[in-house]
Amino acid sequence: MSTKYVYLFLNGQAEGNGQMKDLLGGKGAGLAEMTNAGFPVPPGFTITTEACNAYYAAGGSFPEGMWNQVLHAMKKIE
């Protein structure tokens, strides 16, 4: 199983939550928490800090599987 790099928030549900600041960053965790609380948040997704770290560790290459996760998330929110 590949690492999850993309967390969706749409239709009042988020894959993350406010406790995931280390993984989603402050803004991503906040958007997830507001979505889960029922606030009107436009649909979107957060790319994890883990993906950023892997990108830099690989010399500027996307980690394996990340781009497909991004494309899948984009299709979900369109």
Contact 77, 7 (CB under 8 A): no
**Nearest CA to 7 among 39, 38, 50, 37?**
50
The closest alpha carbon to 67, from 13, 18, 58, 29, belongs to 58
Residue 21 within a domain: yes
> Which CATH number fits the domain that encloses residue 10?
3.30.1490.20
Please give the pLDDT value at position 2. 85
The pLDDT tens digits for 7-47 are: 999 999 999 999 999 999 999 999 999 999 999 999 999 99
In a domain, 1, yes or no: no
Contacts of residue 60, defined as CB under 8 A and 6 or more positions apart, other chains included, come to none
- Does 71 map to a domain? yes
- Per the structure, the complete domain to which residue 43 belongs is given by 6-77
> So what's the pLDDT on residue 1?
62
List the one residue out of 39, 7, 35 whose CA is nearest residue 23: 7
Q: Is the pLDDT of residue 51 over 90?
A: yes
**Into how many domains does the chain fold?**
1
User: Looking at the domain assignment, is residue 15 inside a domain?
Assistant: yes
